[in-house]
């Protein structure tokens, strides 16, 4: 699959313009290319309580599921930018979110060009860790 990084970055920059960021004033947009060729986007949404703030990637992953993308992994490429249109590294929480949506091979745009997510989140925790390490004696919640 050919990845149009310029279009992905343009979509991320566009949605960054709709971010709700009155506290940090750091607008962030994220655009992801799905395995079936769609582009999904998200922007950051801050909250006065700060701890409830949603990163742009949270919105993107929500949009991914809302769009009914069922491929595994669902994402093949992601571009996250600040309001100025330049790449911004996903925070740690979002790297974990992207890992579940796109896997280790997900390409993430950076200031130095696209890199696999495994470069940004080595030795990632994932679903297989849960199934392999469950305590069968622990009652289900």
Residues that bind Zn ion (CB under 5 A): 55, 91, 94
Nearest to 31 by CA among 91, 85, 112: 85
- In the complex, least distance from residue 110 CB atom to Zn ion, rounded to whole angstroms: 15
- In the complex, least distance from residue 36 CB atom to Zn ion, rounded to whole angstroms: 25
Rounded distance between C-alpha atoms, residue 41 and residue 8, angstroms: 9
Q: Please say if 140 is a catalytic residue.
A: no
Q: Give the rounded distance of the alpha carbon of 71 from its chain centre.
A: 16
- In the complex, least distance from residue 58 CB atom to Zn ion, rounded to whole angstroms: 7
Nearer to Zn ion, 71 or 126 (CB): 126
Nearer to Zn ion, 93 or 134 (CB): 93
Catalytic one of 46, 57, 100, 140: 57
Q: Output the CA torsion 54→55→57→58 (10° steps).
A: -10
Contacts of 133 (CB under 8 A, 6+ apart): none
Nearer to Zn ion, 28 or 39 (CB): 28
Q: Return the active site residues.
A: 57
């Amino acid at each position: 699959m050919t990845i149009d990084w310029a279009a992905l970055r343009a979509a991320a920059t566009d949605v960054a313009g709709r971010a709700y960021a009155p506290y940090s004033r750091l607008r962030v947009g994220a655009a992801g290319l799905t395995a079936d060729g769609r582009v999904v986007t998200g922007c950051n949404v801050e909250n006065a309580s700060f701890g409830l703030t949603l990163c742009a990637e949270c919105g993107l992953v929500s949009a991914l599921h809302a769009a009914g993308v069922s491929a595994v992994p669902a994402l093949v490429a992601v571009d996250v930018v600040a309001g100025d249109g330049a790449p911004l590294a996903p925070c740690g929480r979002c790297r974990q979110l992207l890992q579940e949506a796109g896997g280790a091979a997900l390409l993430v745009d950076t200031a130095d060009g696209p890199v696999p997510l495994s470069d940004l989140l080595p030795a990632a925790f994932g679903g297989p860790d849960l199934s392999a390490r469950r305590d069968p004696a622990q009652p289900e919640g």
